[in-house]
C-alpha cells in the first residue's frame, strides 16, 4: 500500500491548473450510454474513480478508452445491463448508471453502491423516484433490479424530499425514457443544481434532449426527445472546483499564495462555481482577486477564525468541509464547522488528532476547532477522498515528518497530488522517493 511522506512545515506558492472535474465526468460517462454515437469527453483526470467507471462500462461490453486525458466511449454494441458487484462496491457513482442503463436497455441490475465511508448514503429516494415513474423495482441478492415499465403508473410530477445529486442524475435519464415512451412531459421539483448536474443537462440539451431547467426554482422538465446521431459527439469536461478549492485552502493554511488558472466559460468557471468559498476566505482576511483568466489567493494579514455550515449548491460545498477544518487549525481562536449533508463526515478528525490538533466533534454534525496550536508530524491514514486531502494539508502544516498511508483514497479524486504539491514547493514524496530527514527514516523502519 503506497504512502506519502511529508516534511513540514511547508508554504505552498505558485501557479496551479485544475484537473477536469471528477464529479463532472461521471455523469457525462453515464450519458454516453444513451447515445447511438461515439462520445469523446475531453479534460478528464486520470484518477482511481474514473478508472473504476471505465472498468464498469467495459464490463457491460461498452468500448471505453482513456487516451491523452480524453475518454472515448462507444456503447453501440452494449452487451449487458448488469453492473458487476465488485466494481460497483468501489464507488458511489456506479449507482448513477441505473437511469442511463434503463434508457438504453429498458432494464437494469445495479448493486447497492460503495464509495467514501462518510455516512449512511442511502439510495431510498432513487428507488422511490424509479417506482413513481412507473417501473417495477425489486431488491435481489444485494442488487436493485429495475424492469417492467408500466405507462399507466407514471406520476408525471415528482417532488424530491432532498435535492440529491445522484438521484437527480438518475431522474434525468429515467425521465427521458418515460417521456419518450409516453409522449408526456415529466416534471421534477427540488432537484440538485450542482454545476456538474446543470452541465450534464446542457450537454444533453445540445445533443437533442428536450430538457428545461430553472435553477432558482430547482425545477426540471423533460419532454420527448430526439437525440442527435453523429459519428462523434465531443464534450469538454468542466474544471474540478473541489480540487481547485482544496489547493486554495492548502495555500491559505500554509500561509502561501496561489494563482489558479481559470479560463472556462463564465458559468462553469472556478470563480463562479466556488463563489461561496471565495466569500468565506475574504471574510477571514484572505486577499482574493478574481481576474478573467485566473484567481489569485494571497495572505496579506493574520486570518481570523470562522463559522461555516455546509449546504447544497450554491451553499458551502460539503466536499471542502474537511479541508476547512485543517485551515481552522492554522488560525488562532475557535472555529465552528457544521456538516449538514452527510451523517458521518468527520471520520478524518481522528487522524488530525494524531498531529496534535484540538478538535471536538459533537453528534457527527459539528466540529469545534481550537486553532493556532503547533502540529507535529506523525503517521496518519487517509480515511476518504476529501478527508484524506484535509489530512495531507494538516501534514503540510505540521513540523517534522508525517507519513500518510491509504493514499489510494486521495488518489480516487486527486490527480498527481504529490507532483502538483511539489511544484508548489511542498516537500512531499511518494513511497519510493527518499524522505529528507533522519526522523523520517526512523518512521520508515
Ligand atoms: N440521500 C438519501 N437518499 C437518497 C440519496 C441521497 O438519503 O436516495 C442522502 C445521502 O445519504 C447523503 C445526502 O443525501 O447524506 C446527499 O447525497 P447526494 O445524492 O446529493 O450525493 P451523492 O450523489 O451521493 C455527490 C458527489 C459527492 C458530493 C455529494 C454532495 C459524485 C460522484 N459524488 O454524491 O462527492 O459530496 O454529491 O455534493 O458526484 C466526493 O467527490 O468526494 C464526493 C463525496
pLDDT at 221: 98
Among the atoms of ligand 1, which is closest to the Cα of residue 123?
8
Q: Is the CB of 124 under 6 A from ligand 1?
A: yes
- The bridge status of strand 366-371 relative to strand 359-362 is antiparallel
Domain locations along the chain: 4-19+239-430, 22-231
- CA 233 remoteness from chain centre: 24
The CA R_g of the chain, rounded to the nearest whole Å, is: 22
CA angle 64, 67, 68 (to 5 degrees): 150
- 16-65 pLDDT per residue, tens: 999 999 999 999 999 999 999 999 999 999 998 999 999 999 999 999 99
Banded model confidence at residue 119, pLDDT cuts 50, 70, 90: confident
Ligand 1 pocket mutation pick from 19, 20, 21, 23 by most atoms within 8 angstroms of CB: 23
Task: Tell which one of 124, 165, 346 to mutate to probe ligand 1, the residue whose CB is within 8 A of the most ligand atoms.
Answer: 165
Which distant-in-sequence residues (6+ apart) come within 8 Å of 42 by Cβ? Answer: 20, 69, 70, 234, 235, 236, 237
Q: Is any atom of ligand 1 closer than 6 Å to the C-beta of 316?
A: no
Does ligand 1 come within 6 angstroms of the Cβ of 385?
yes
Please give the distance, rounded to the nearest whole angstrom, from the Cα atom of residue 93 to the centre of ligand 1: 9
SS3 of the chain: the string is CCCEEEEECCCCEEEECCCECHHHHHHHHHHHCCCCCEEEEECCCCCHHHHHHHHHHHHCCCEEEEECCEEEEECCCCCCCECCHHHHCCCHHHHHHHHHHHHHHCCEEEECCCCCCCCCCCCHHHHHHHHHCCCEEEEECCEEEEECCCHHHCCCEEECCCCCHHHHHHHHHHHHHHHHHHCCCEEEECCCCCHHHHHHHHHHHHCCCEEEEECCCCEEEEECCCCCCCCEEEEECCECHHHHHHHHHHHHHCCCEEEEECCCCCCCCHHHHCHHHHHHHHHCCEEEEEECCEEEEEECCCCCCCEEEECCCCCECHHHHHHHHHHHHCCCEEEEEECCCCCCCCCCHHHHHHCCCCEEEECCCEEEEEECCCCECCEEECCCHHHHHHHHHHHHHCEEEEEEECCHHHHCCCCCHHHHHHHCCCCEEECCCCCCCHHHHHHHC
Residues 136, 351: Cα–Cα separation, whole Å? 44
Residue 306 CA to ligand 1 center (angstroms) comes to 25
The answer to whether the CB of 161 is under 6 A from ligand 1 is: no
Query: CB of 296 closer than 6 A to ligand 1?
Result: no
Given a cut of 50, whether residue 441 has pLDDT beyond it is no
CATH architecture of 22-231: Alpha-beta prism (3.65)
Cis before 9 (ω within 30): yes
pLDDT in tens, 359-390: 999 998 999 999 999 999 999 999 999 999 99
Note the pLDDT of residue 45: 97
Q: Cα of 104 to ligand 1 centre, how many Å?
A: 24
Asked if domains 4-19+239-430 and 22-231 share a fold, the reply is yes
8 A C-beta contact, residue 273 and residue 199: no
Which one, of 30, 23, 89, lies nearest residue 385 by Cα? 23
Q: Predicted confidence band at 264 (pLDDT cuts at 50, 70, 90)?
A: confident
* Ligand 1 contact via 348 beta carbon (within 6 Å): no
CA distance 187 to 212: 10
> Cα separation of 311 and 1, whole Å?
34
Residues 183-237 pLDDT 10s: 999 999 999 999 999 999 999 999 999 999 999 999 999 999 999 988 999 999 9
User: With a 6 A CB cut-off, is 23 part of the ligand 1 pocket?
Assistant: yes
Question: Quick one: pLDDT band at residue 256, thresholds 50, 70, 90?
Answer: very high
Decide whether any atom of ligand 1 lies within 6 Å of the 48 Cβ. Answer: no
Is it the case that residue 438 has pLDDT exceeding 80?
no
Q: Is 318 in the pocket of ligand 1 (CB under 6 A)?
A: yes
Report the pLDDT averaged over residues 336-346. Answer: 95
| Residue among 94, 130, 166, 310 to mutate when testing ligand 1 (max atoms within 8 A of CB) | 166
Residue closest via CA to ligand 1's atom 24 equals 166
**Ligand 1 atom closest to residue 126's alpha carbon, by position in its atom list:** 8
317 CA closest ligand 1 atom index: 38
Joined grid coordinates for residue 356: 496534535
CA distance linking residue 389 with residue 326, whole number of Å = 9
With a cut of 70, say whether residue 239 has pLDDT above it: yes
Q: Is the C-beta atom of 162 inside 6 A of ligand 1?
A: yes
Residue 307 has pLDDT above 80, yes or no: yes
Q: Does the domain spanning 4-19+239-430 belong to CATH 3.65.10.10?
A: yes
Q: Whose CA is nearest to atom 35 of ligand 1?
A: 319
Catalytic residue annotation: 116
Ligand 1 centroid to 119 CA: how many Å?
10
Q: Ligand 1 centre and the CA of 163: distance in Å?
A: 9
Cell 492548502 identifies what position? 250
User: What is the model's pTM?
Assistant: 0.96
Please tell me the predicted confidence (pLDDT) of residue 437.
53
- 401, pLDDT greater than 90: yes
Most confident segment among 112-116, 228-232, 335-339 = 335-339
| Distance from Cα 121 to the centre of ligand 1, integer Å | 7
Residue nearest to atom 39 of ligand 1 (CA): 23
For residue 434, the CA-to-ligand 1 centroid distance in Å is 38
Our mutation pick for probing the ligand 1 site, out of 88, 129, 313, 341, counting the most ligand atoms within 8 A of Cβ, is 341
Give the ligand 1 atom nearest the CA of 127: 8
Mutate to test the pocket of ligand 1, among 113, 164, 174 (most ligand atoms within 8 A of CB): 164
A 10 A CB-CB count for 432 gives 7
Q: Residues of the chain with pLDDT > 90: what percent?
A: 88
pLDDT of residue 442: 43
- Residue 93 CB–ligand 1 contact under 6 Å: yes
Q: Cell numbers for 199, please give them.
A: 452541465
* Burial class of 279 by CB neighbour count within 10 A (0 to 12, 13 to 18, 19+): exposed
What mean pLDDT value characterizes the chain? 94
Amino acid at each position: 500500500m503506497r504512502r506519502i511522506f511529508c516534511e513540514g512545515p511547508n508554504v505552498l506558492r505558485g501557479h496551479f491548473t485544475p484537473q477536469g472535474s471528477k464529479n463532472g465526468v461521471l455523469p457525462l460517462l453515464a450519458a454516453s450510454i444513451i447515445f447511438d454515437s461515439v462520445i469523446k469527453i475531453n479534460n478528464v483526470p486520470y484518477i482511481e474513480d474514473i478508472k473504476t467507471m471505465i472498468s464498469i462500462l467495459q464490463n457491460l461490453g461498452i468500448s471505453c478508452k482513456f487516451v491523452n486525458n480524453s475518454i472515448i466511449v462507444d456503447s453501440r454494441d452494449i452487451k449487458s445491463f448488469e453492473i458487476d458487484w465488485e466494481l460497483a462496491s468501489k464507488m458511489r457513482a456506479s449507482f448513477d448508471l441505473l437511469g442511463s442503463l434503463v434508457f438504453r436497455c429498458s432494464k437494469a441490475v445495479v448493486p447497492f453502491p460503495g464509495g467514501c465511508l462518510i455516512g449512511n448514503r442511502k439510495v431510498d429516494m432513487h428507488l422511490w423516484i424509479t417506482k413513481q415513474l412507473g417501473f417495477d423495482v425489486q431488491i435481489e441478492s444485494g442488487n436493485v433490479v429495475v424492469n417492467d415499465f408500466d405507462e399507466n403508473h407514471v406520476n408525471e410530477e415528482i417532488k424530491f424530499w432532498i435535492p440529491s445529486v445522484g438521484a437527480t442524475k438518475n431522474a434525468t435519464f429515467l425521465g427521458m425514457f418515460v417521456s419518450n415512451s409516453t409522449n408526456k412531459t415529466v416534471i421534477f421539483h427540488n432537484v440538485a443544481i450542482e454545476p456538474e448536474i446543470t452541465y450534464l443537462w446542457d450537454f444533453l440539451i445540445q445533443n437533442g434532449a428536450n430538457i428545461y431547467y430553472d435553477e432558482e426554482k430547482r425545477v426540471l422538465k423533460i419532454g420527448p426527445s430526439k437525440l442527435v446521431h453523429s459519428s462523434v459527439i465531443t464534450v469538454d469536461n468542466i474544471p474540478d472546483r473541489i480540487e481547485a478549492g482544496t489547493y486554495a485552502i492548502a495555500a491559505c493554511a500554509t500561509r502561501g499564495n496561489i494563482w489558479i488558472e481559470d479560463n472556462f466559460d463564465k458559468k462553469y468557471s472556478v470563480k463562479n462555481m466556488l463563489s461561496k468559498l471565495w466569500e468565506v476566505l475574504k471574510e477571514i482576511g484572505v486577499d482574493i482577486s478574481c481576474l478573467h483568466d485566473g484567481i489569485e489567493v494571497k495572505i496579506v494579514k493574520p486570518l481570523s477564525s470562522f463559522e461555516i455550515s455546509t449546504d447544497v449548491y450554491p451553499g458551502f460545498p460539503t466536499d471542502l468541509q474537511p479541508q476547512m477544518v485543517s485551515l481552522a487549525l492554522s488560525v488562532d481562536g475557535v472555529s465552528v464547522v457544521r456538516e449538514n449533508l452527510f451523517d458521518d463526515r468527520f471520520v478524518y478528525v481522528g487522524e488530525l488528532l494524531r498531529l496534535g490538533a484540538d478538535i471536538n466533534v459533537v453528534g457527527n454534525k459539528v466540529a469545534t476547532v481550537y486553532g493556532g496550536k503547533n502540529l507535529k508530524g506523525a503517521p496518519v491514514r487517509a480515511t476518504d477522498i476529501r478527508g484524506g486531502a484535509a489530512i495531507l494539508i494538516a501534514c503540510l502544516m505540521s513540523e517534522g515528518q508525517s507519513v500518510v498511508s491509504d493514499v489510494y483514497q486521495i488518489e480516487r479524486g486527486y490527480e498527481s497530488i504529490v507532483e502538483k504539491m511539489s511544484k508548489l514547493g511542498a516537500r512531499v514524496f511518494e513511497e519510493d522517493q527518499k524522505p529528507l530527514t533522519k526522523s523520517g527514516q526512523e518512521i520508515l523502519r
